[in-house]
């Protein structure tokens, strides 16, 4: 018999409220997107302020948490200098070099699509955490779930590309024409995958009276948030603000806190004294304040450095782009079930 979760006995990663509202984002993500679009249409000055670089700094603690996972824990990077030191250093140098050589539009375009992939990868990782927690480990379900989660948003992104243009961190993301045949094939494949996913859930419910409530919510909100922002509203700015800066950001911060709480449950650990100290019970506020403080220091330092140059805004954007690229690269190693799943679900 398949190992699936009983509706009234669902095992949650943290608790039902946090898992549904923060990890899945239902219905808060859709409410935030609606409010942002309302502000964009009726209060353009306020929207411009929200979309400014200063508002973008709201996401900085998210970046520093990634750096904290790797660089504040000596055991995490032990024997991995190539992955966690030399490659990140080369990545930062290349990002800065391309930007200085008047290829900043190319850099921001790559980062934009990298962020889209990063959002989907994080959602897939959190979905896998729940599947692991509830012993939903059939290969068939894994294939169907992953394809459904990834294909829908990918199709909506490709369908929006001809009209997609956003001034992201100072550089314009290009509008790209997509072959109509490719879009048609993607559309058919997406519809088939979604239908297969729905039929699979109906089959499980009818045969065993079981349902994966979180899985359904997670896949639903991921697909709908991409459709709502990129197809209905046709705004990459709303996508970046609502899906990336808000949902993805808070989702990651809560996950990182819980990950550290579980990892250092036995107390302060040698080689990771700072992060293990902050992760002890009763220090949740201190944990978040620490990474907010690092974000403030970064903001002040980058502002001072940029003030010494002629093109102040460009320098800030280049530094920010380097941080984004480093964050995406490091998370590709962190967000793996084989690496962190057992710690979180322990």
Q: Is the pLDDT of residue 14 over 80?
A: yes
From first CA to last CA, the distance across the chain in angstroms is 24
CA nearest neighbour of 107 among 20, 14, 172: 172
What are 172's strand-pairing partners? 167
For range 232-257, the mean pLDDT? 90
| pLDDT exceeds 70 at position 4 | no
pLDDT of residue 3: 44
Q: Contact, 137 vs 3, CB < 8 A?
A: yes
pLDDT at res. 310: 66
Is 242 inside any structural domain? yes
Nearby residues of 285 by Cβ (< 8 Å), 6 or more positions away? none
Q: What is the mean pLDDT of residues 225-253?
A: 91
Question: Over the stretch 266-305, which tens digit does the pLDDT of each residue have?
Answer: 899 989 999 999 999 999 999 999 998 998 888 888 778 7
Q: What is the pLDDT of residue 345?
A: 66
Residue 29 reports pLDDT greater than 80 = yes
CB-facing half-sphere around the CA of 297: CA atoms within 13 A: 7
Instruction: Note whether residue 295 is domain-resident.
Output: yes
Cα angle at 80 between 74 and 84, to 5 degrees?
80
The pLDDT score that the predictor gives to residue 78 is 84
Give the pLDDT band (50/70/90) at residue 257. Answer: very high
| pLDDT attached to residue 172 | 60
- Say what the alpha-carbon torsion angle 155, 99, 293, 114 is, to the nearest 10 degrees: 20
Task: Tell me which residue range forms the domain holding 281.
Answer: 7-344
Helical packing angle, 284-307 and 249-263, nearest 10°:
130
1 pLDDT more than 60:
no
**pLDDT at residue 171 in the model:** 58
Q: Is residue 2 part of a domain?
A: no
Q: Inform me whether the pLDDT recorded for 173 exceeds 70.
A: no
- Residue 226: inside a domain: yes
Question: Does 181 map to a domain?
Answer: yes
Q: Which of 55-64, 133-142, 149-158, 161-170 has the highest mean pLDDT?
A: 149-158
Q: What is the pLDDT of residues 300-343, one digit of tens each?
A: 887 787 777 766 667 777 888 888 899 999 999 888 877 676 67
Give per-residue pLDDT as tens, 177-226: 778 888 999 999 999 999 999 999 999 999 887 888 999 999 999 999 99
pLDDT the model gives residue 312: 66
Work out the average pLDDT over 245-270.
Answer: 92
| Assigned domain for 1 exists | no
Band (169; pLDDT cuts 50, 70, 90): low
Domain count, the chain: 1
Contacts of 86 (CB under 8 A, 6+ apart): none
pLDDT of 168 reads: 60
pLDDT at 146 over 60: yes
Q: What's residue 258's pLDDT?
A: 93
304, 95 contact by CB (below 8 A): no
Note the pLDDT tens digit of each residue in 96-126. Answer: 888 777 787 778 888 888 899 999 999 999 9
Mean model confidence pLDDT for the chain:
86
Position 40 in a domain = yes
DSSP labels, 263-275: HTTT---TT-HHH
- Where b means 16+ CB within 10 Å and e means fewer, 61-87 reads bbbbbbbbbbbbbeebeeeeeeebeee
Using the Cα atoms of residue 256, residue 260, residue 261 and residue 262 in order, give the sign of their dihedral: positive
Of the two residues 7 and 233, the one the predictor is more confident about is 233
In a domain? residue 332? yes
Alpha helices (H) along the chain? 16-18, 28-42, 44-50, 53-56, 60-71, 74-77, 81, 87-98, 104-133, 139-160, 180-208, 213-226, 236-238, 249-263, 273-278, 284-307, 312-334, 342-344
């Amino acid at each position: 018999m398949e190992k699936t979760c009983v509706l009234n006995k669902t095992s949650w990663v943290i608790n039902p409220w946090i898992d549904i509202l923060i990890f899945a984002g239902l219905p808060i993500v859709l409410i935030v997107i609606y409010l942002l679009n309302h502000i964009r249409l009726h209060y353009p000055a306020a929207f411009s302020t929200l979309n400014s670089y200063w508002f973008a700094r709201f996401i900085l603690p998210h970046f520093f948490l990634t750096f904290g996972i790797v660089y504040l824990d000596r055991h995490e990077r032990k024997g991995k200098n190539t992955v966690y030191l030399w490659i990140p250093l080369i990545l930062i140098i290349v990002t800065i070099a391309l930007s200085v050589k008047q290829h900043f539009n190319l850099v921001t375009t790559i980062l934009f699509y990298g962020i889209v992939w990063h959002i989907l990868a994080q959602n897939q990782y959190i979905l896998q955490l729940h599947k692991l927690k509830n012993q939903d480990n059939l290969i068939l379900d894994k294939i169907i779930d992953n394809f459904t989660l990834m294909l829908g948003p990918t199709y909506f992104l490709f369908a929006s590309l001809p009209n997609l243009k956003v001034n992201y961190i100072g550089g314009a993301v290009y509008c790209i024409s997509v072959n109509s045949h490719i879009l048609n094939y993607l559309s058919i494949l997406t519809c088939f995958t979604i239908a297969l996913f729905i039929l699979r859930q109906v089959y499980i419910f009818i045969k065993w009276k079981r349902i994966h409530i979180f899985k359904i919510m997670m896949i639903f909100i991921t697909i709908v948030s991409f459709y709502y922002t990129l197809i209905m509203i046709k705004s990459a700015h709303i996508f970046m603000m609502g899906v990336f800066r808000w949902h993805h950001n808070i989702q990651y911060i809560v996950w990182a806190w819980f990950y550290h709480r579980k990892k250092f449950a036995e107390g302060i650990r040698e080689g990771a004294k700072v992060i293990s100290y902050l992760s002890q019970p009763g220090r949740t506020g201190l944990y978040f304040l620490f990474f907010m403080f690092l974000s403030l220091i970064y903001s002040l330092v980058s502002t001072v450095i940029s003030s010494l140059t002629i093109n102040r805004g460009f320098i800030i954007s280049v530094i920010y782009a380097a941080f984004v690229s480093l964050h995406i690269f490091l998370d590709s190693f962190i967000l793996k079930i084989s690496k962190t799943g057992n710690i979180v679900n322990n």
